[in-house]
Each structure stands twice: as C-alpha cells, then as structure tokens.
Amino acid sequence: MTIVVDASVALKWVLPEDYSGLADKLLSERLIAPPLWLMEGANALWRNVRTGKINADDAGRLFRELSSAPVAMVHADDDVSKALDLANRLSHPVYDCIYIVLAQREDTYVVTADRRFADLAAKFPEVAGNIRLLESTA
C-alpha cells in the first residue's frame, strides 16, 4: 500500500526524536509526499540550528540524508484548490491540508507526528480516514 508521509515524520529519520523507531519502520513501505515535504524539512532543520540543537554543517548533512529518503514526490499542483477549501473548513494551514488531499486522491492516508493536526482532522468525517498519528501505527 502507498502511504503519504509528512515532514514531521520524515524528520524523525534524521533527528533522534520520540517515535523515530516507528518512523523508521515506514521506510519499508511505498512512501509518497508532495514536494513541499522537503521544504518543510529544510525549514525544521534551520529551526534546529537557530535553537542550537544542531549546527549548520549538521543541518546540511541531515538535509542530504532527508532528500535521499525513499519518498516519491507526487506533484500536487492540481490539489491546491481542494487543499484551500479543506483548510478553510478545518481552519488549518493549507500546507498541511495538501497532504490529506493527496492521500484522498491516492486512496490512502497520511502518517503524521503532528498530534494537533491529526486530532483536528479526526473531527471531520470527510478526512478522518485519511490521517493517522505516527504513534498509533505501532
């Protein structure tokens, strides 16, 4: 089965965080994501540099690792309008909603480590089946 992963999960492949082991288990699946996932990953690495958790050299190395992860990028340009509609219904950012719309198009689900996002989406029957919290995939 194909699974959509978001950047919150992908970062656990390169940074030791809670549930990194569960994220690693996903690497044996067929993974897809919109190209946005790499930009979000790079931004999170930058935030880690800013907070002193890693240095700039580490960020560059970790980004190279992240960009070589076995995630097929699926362009979602045609999904942006639907993601905007969903963002308005959920009152949540478009950049997260694009993952759900991609999952719906591919008849699958998103795995996220973002509890707030997963909990919010679970309240909406039209998308509840398209999102799973990483820690619940054990």
Percent of the chain predicted with pLDDT > 90:
96
Span 49-68, average pLDDT: 97
CATH number among 3.30.70.260, 3.90.79.10, 3.10.129.10, 3.40.50.1010, domain 2-137: 3.40.50.1010
pLDDT band at 1 (very low <50, low <70, confident <90, very high): confident
Give residues with Cβ within 8 angstroms of 135, minimum separation 6.
18, 19, 22, 113
Question: What's the rounded Cα separation, in Å, for the pair 34 and 95?
Answer: 10
- The amino acid occupying position 90 is L
pLDDT tens-place string over residues 5-36: 999 999 999 999 999 999 999 999 999 999 99
